[in-house]
Amino acid sequence: MNYEPVIGLEVHVQLKTKSKLFCSCSTEFGAEGNKHTCPVCLGWPGSLPVVNEKALKLAIKAGLALNCKVAERLKFDRKHYFYPDLPKAYQISQYDMPVNGRGWLDIETKTTDDRLQTTAKKIGITRAHLEEDAGKLLHENIADGSLVDYNRGGIPLLEIVSEPDLRSPQEAYDYLTALKAILQYVEVSDCDMEKGSLRCDANVSVRPVGQEKFGTKVEIKNLNSFKMAQKAIQYEMERQTEALEGGETIVQETRLWNDAQGTTSSMRSKEEAHDYRYFPEPDLVPFTLSRAAVSEIRKTLPELPLEKAKRFIKEFAIPEYDAYVLVQEKKLAEYFENCVKEGGNPKLIAKRILNEFLAALSESKKTIEDCGVQPKDMVELSKLEENNTISSTTVKIVMAKMVLTLNSPAVIIKEEGLAQVSDTGLIERAAEKAIAANPAAVAEFKAGKQKALGALVGAVMKETGGKANPQLANEILRKKLSS
């Protein structure tokens, strides 16, 4: 039997506020332990929470970007459980009247191994509600006991719950990427997984293809990157399929991903699952959101990633795939557009940014924001390539130097002697060497295989350090081989 996975994701993002959700303590990351605490976030009796207006506005902004129905009336609820990082023994969250109700997210997903093939898909958002974060337990010197740091306790989180609409690990990965891009565009969160400002749990079940009813789901925690989420879902779907085929039943449980082993293992079963005993937070009365306030927030929404991609495709005629990758990072998309404004050829600029530029940035451990390469230099480089002053092989070298030194391409090419060689004498000598060293390719070419010439051109390029004008090399080789 053929099985298919059903996947729903729960994503927590930290909202970008200066102070916590219900008190005025700072949200500073990495401060000295327990520096940012007060009676409210430490859960002292008699202290009263007050809702942070900025956090509420950010939550609404995110909800609007996710096409959610923003609540007319909302309330907060207490979710009870005991854990040392939760001093009140309950978390203030939202249960049945969340700030954002049903919405959806449009994703572009890879449907085949061909990286250029993407398909649009709508993924339902069940809800996106506000809640406070818990503190952090530190088990560094476990022999002396554990420590608890309440700095994170009370920081505003938005929990975004998806419908079980995802059907492959790849789709889950694409959903997470699209979600992160949107949240960054609307500037509600920095979505930095390393700092824990974006966390995700995956719910996975499998069912025989053609069956409508969902199978029993398992929740996977400890997913520290989108790639890990993809791998864990893949593993889990294989595990469940195997179990069902072996006649076992799947038990509803929470499992932990072990990245080193590449497996999941049971953390707690449904019997041990919490009964949270939700009830309305008595210290925060339900309240009404004015439609005027919501439409004011709607006005602040920027052009969103997919809209931007569609515009790039239409205005600049760049390949769809390039457009979707460019817009995943706002800064990258803006950089591309600035280069086009400087007179760059959109197709070539997009290609060079996505390949050589990103490679050079990652090589030098710089980011698009701090690298300092001016769009006009990027455009100059592409012009030099277009008019054949340099070959595409040389572009890579110049790009790397440009990111390192911030010198203009002209200066780099001059200093490094990288200009393309159109000196026929030099290319002729390289061509003779290439012919002598590659008798097999020569024989193939003579036997009518045009493609074999490519290997010889490659050899000439190598011999000249990538500087030979490839067209000229091609002509000279042909002439020599036909004589």
Tell me how far, at minimum, the Cβ of 96 lies from ligand ADP, in Å: 12
Question: Residue 110: beta bridge partners?
Answer: 118
- Total residues found in the chain within this entry: 483
* Closer residue to ligand ADP in complex, CB, 215/344: 215
Residue 249 CB, nearest approach to Zn ion (Å): 46
Return the residues of window 4-63 that contact Zn ion according to CB under 5 A.
23, 25, 38, 40-41
Q: How far apart are CA 352 and CA 378, in angstroms?
A: 9
Q: Which stretch binds ligand ADP (CB under 6 A): 55-63, 156-164, 366-374, 421-429?
A: 156-164
41 interacts with, out of Zn ion, ligand ADP, none, CB within 5 to 8 A per kind: Zn ion
Site for ligand ADP in 186-205 (CB under 6 A): 203-205
- Residue 381, binding choice from ligand ADP, Zn ion, none, Cβ under 5 to 8 Å by partner class: none
Shortest distance (Å) from residue 126 CB to ligand ADP: 6
Nearest distance, CB of residue 262 and ligand ADP, angstroms: 21
User: Is 17 a residue that touches ligand ADP (CB under 6 A)?
Assistant: no
Residue 6 touches ligand ADP, criterion: CB under 6 A: yes
Report CA torsion sign: 372, 375, 379, 385. Answer: positive
Token digits of residue 401: 């130097």
205-234 positions binding ligand ADP, by CB under 6 A: 205, 214-215, 217
From the list ligand ADP, Zn ion, none, partner contacted by residue 23 (C-beta under 5 to 8 A by kind):
Zn ion
Cα–Cα distance between 324 and 117 in angstroms, integer? 11
DSSP one-letter string for 174-228:
HHHHHHHHHHHHTTS----GGGTSEEEEEEEEEEETT--S----EEEEEE-SHHH
438-448 exposure pattern, b = at least 16 Cβ within 10 A, e = fewer: beebbebbeee
x/- binding map, residues 159-178, to ligand ADP, per CB under 6 A?
--xxxx--------------
Report in angstroms how near the CB of residue 152 gets to Zn ion at its nearest: 11
Q: What is the arrangement of strands in the sheet containing 90-93, beginning at the earlier edge strand?
A: 90-93, 77-80, 279-280
Residues 6+ apart with CB under 8 A from 118: 108, 109, 110, 111, 320, 321, 324
Q: Which is nearer to Zn ion, 42 or 193 (CB)?
A: 42
How far, in Å, CA of 124 to CA of 105, rounded?
Answer: 6
Helices 330-341 and 305-316: angle between axes, nearest 10 degrees: 20
Should residue 98 be labelled a site residue for ligand ADP when binding is judged by CB under 6 A?
Answer: no
Q: 85 or 334, CB closer to Zn ion?
A: 85
Footprint on this chain of Zn ion (rule: CB under 5 A): 23, 25, 38, 40-41
Residues that bind ligand ADP (CB under 6 A): 6-10, 161-164, 203-205, 214-215, 217
